[in-house]
A = this chain, B = another copy of it.
Amino acid sequence: MSISPNDPVTPLPDGLILAIDIGGTKMAIGLVDDDGNVLAADRTPSPANQLGDAMWDALNRLADRVLATAGNPELAGVGVGCAGPMIWPEGIVSPTNIVGWRDFPLRRLLEQRFPGVPVRLHNDAICMAIAENWKGAAQGHQNALGMVVSTGVGGGLISDGRLINGGFGNAGHIGHIVIDPDGPACRCGGRGCLEAIARGPATSAWAVEEGWSPLEPGDPANAETLAKDARAGDLVAIEAYRRAGSAVGVGLASVAALLDLDIAVVGGGLSQAGELLMGPVRLAFAEHAGMTFVKRMKIERAQLDQEAGVVGAAALFADGGRYWNA
């Protein structure tokens, strides 16, 4: 009588998807087949600090190069994951870290660039989440969170077998659930958000305040150096990762209670510190997950990491509407 989330509403596209992953640091483009294999891919630094057409031109040069490498195949679709915020599903983007794009009509411009080819665009954190659900650590699960802990903290949600969009395509913003109502101010304008506590720059800044400086002079005082120093036994560095991981674990307990999830997948730069982050994540989760259905949620590290953006952009066309309902 009712729709099963897995009914194939749209057939899988026969051809290849041009999958575009756009961030403030780099952009990556790949050709992805309907099994999620990345057949050709390339990347380039993002000229994110330049005004004017620099970003758009760089994107087109990279796309031309990837397409030429593959012999300019026919495309079944163009999928895009882009840093937010954006107006969705229109795909009008204003990425915080890309100064030249303000209300930039990326989806429409790509539709003009590839006439007759459907273009789908979503938030990059959502693309990471659907990539992990399609081909990564959350594969096969009908209720899953994918999240990144990096310069920012973001995520995407699969519920009852489908991507949740929310009213304006912003569902999944786990970085802005409140962990500590009296906590630090967040760049979003709120206070005590998960992102304000656990993002990389906040984590390394907290360590610096507590007296940490990189053990190796010349290393930048960032989350990556912090992980290296924690592995070398620096107690403040270890504590900084514990603090970030605990906040993530508390957030996961809240999301598991709210959405009755099977699995949460954690990716992003800080997750590459491994158990330094993930141990405290699991400890805090265990302390705050009370009910059986909350406790049952598995917590895993992301599998696709580097490729997640491109695979997720292609996933917007996968599995018959499972990840696209606009």
Spell out A's residues near B (CB within 8 Å): 1-5, 9-10, 85, 118, 142-143, 157, 159-160, 162, 164-181, 186, 188-193, 246, 250-251, 253-255, 257-262, 284, 287-294, 296, 321, 324-326
Contacts and interface: CB of A to CB of B under 8 A. Distances in A.
Contact of A173 (B190, B257, B288): B257
Nearest to A253: B178
B260 A167 contact: yes
A288 B258 contact: no
10 contacts: A2-B9, A5-B325, A166-B259, A166-B293, A167-B261, A175-B257, A179-B181, A180-B181, A188-B290, A189-B289
Contacts of A259: 157, 164, 166, 171
B2 A173 contact: no
Nearest to A174: B258
A91 B6 CA distance: 23
B177 A254 contact: yes
A199 to B, nearest CB: 14
A326 B296 CA distance: 20
A100 to B, nearest CB: 21
A273 B65 CA distance: 65
A259 B168 CA distance: 10
A186 B290 contact: yes
Contacts of A288: 178, 181, 190-193
A243 B321 CA distance: 43
Contacts of A192: 288
A188 B3 CA distance: 33
A262 B186 CA distance: 22
Contacts of A193: 257, 288, 290
Nearest to A257: B176
A288 to B, nearest CB: 5
A263 to B, nearest CB: 10
A291 B258 contact: no
Contacts of A176: 253-254, 257-258, 290-291, 294
Contacts of A254: 176-178, 254
A96 B148 CA distance: 37
A24 B160 CA distance: 29
Contacts of A4: 325
A181 B9 CA distance: 43
Contacts of A284: 181
Contacts of A289: 189-190
A262 B167 contact: yes
Contact of A293 (B170, B255, B258, B294): B170
Nearest to A182: B180
